[in-house]
Amino acid sequence: MIEIIPAIDLIDGRCVRLSQGDYGQKKIYDGDPADIASAYADCGVHRIHLVDLDGAKAGSPQNLKTLERIATKVGCDIEWGGGISSEEALHSVLDAGAGHAIIGSVAALNPALFKEWLRSYGGGKVILGADVRGRKVAVKGWLEDSPVTIDELLEDFGACGLEETICTDISRDGMLQGPNQALYSGLQEQFPALSFTVSGGISSMADIVSLSEAGLRKVIVGKAIYEKRITLKDIELWSLKG
Q: Domain range spanning residue 224?
A: 3-241
What's the domain count of the chain? 1
Query: Whole-model pTM above 0.85?
Result: yes
Label residues 78-99 b or e (16+ Cβ within 10 Å = b): bbbbbbbbeeebbebbbebbbe
Query: From the DSSP assignment, how many helices (H) and strands (E) are in the chain?
Result: 11, 12
More confident residue, 15 or 239: 239
Percent of the chain scoring above 90 in pLDDT: 78
Lowest-confidence range among 3-7, 14-18, 43-47, 82-86?
14-18
Catalytic residue among 9, 54, 207, 234: 9
What pLDDT does residue 208 have?
Answer: 98
Who's near 11: CB < 8 A, 6+ residues apart? 26, 28, 53, 54
Closest CA to 185 of 164, 215, 223: 215
Read off φ and ψ for residue 170, nearest 5 degrees.
Answer: -60, -35
Other Cβ atoms less than 10 A from the Cβ of 24: the count is: 6
Judge whether 194 and 165 are in contact, CB under 8 Å: yes
Whether 234 has a pLDDT exceeding 80, the answer reads: yes
Q: Is 240 helix (H, G, I), strand (E, B) or coil?
A: helix
Which pLDDT band, with edges at 50, 70 and 90, does 144 fall under? confident
Percent of the chain scoring above 70 in pLDDT: 95
CA distance 164 to 79: 11
What pLDDT does residue 145 have?
Answer: 80
Whether 6 has a pLDDT exceeding 70, the answer reads: yes
pLDDT digits (tens, 9 = 90+) for 13-45: 988 876 665 666 667 777 899 999 999 999 999
pLDDT digits (tens, 9 = 90+) for 180-197: 999 999 999 999 999 999
> What's the chain's Rg over C-alpha atoms?
16
CA distances from 117 to 48, 111, 146, 154, 192 (A): 22, 10, 20, 15, 22
Which pLDDT band, with edges at 50, 70 and 90, does 142 fall under? low
Catalytic residue among 52, 54, 131, 207: 131
Other Cβ atoms less than 10 A from the Cβ of 193: the count is: 7
What pLDDT does residue 15 have?
Answer: 83
Task: Confirm whether 131 is a catalytic residue.
Answer: yes
In sequence order, the β-bridge partners of residue 19 are 22
Judge whether 217 and 195 are in contact, CB under 8 Å: yes
Task: Confirm whether 9 is a catalytic residue.
Answer: yes
Average pLDDT along the chain = 92
What pLDDT does residue 65 have?
Answer: 97
CA distances from 175 to 17, 25, 122, 227 (A): 10, 11, 34, 11
CATH number at residue 132: 3.20.20.70
CA distance 172 to 189: 21
Judge whether 10 and 16 are in contact, CB under 8 Å: yes
Average pLDDT over residues 142-161: 89
Q: Is 15 helix (H, G, I), strand (E, B) or coil?
A: strand
Q: Is 188 helix (H, G, I), strand (E, B) or coil?
A: helix
CA distances from 241 to 45, 77, 152, 199 (A): 11, 19, 36, 21
What pLDDT does residue 175 have?
Answer: 77
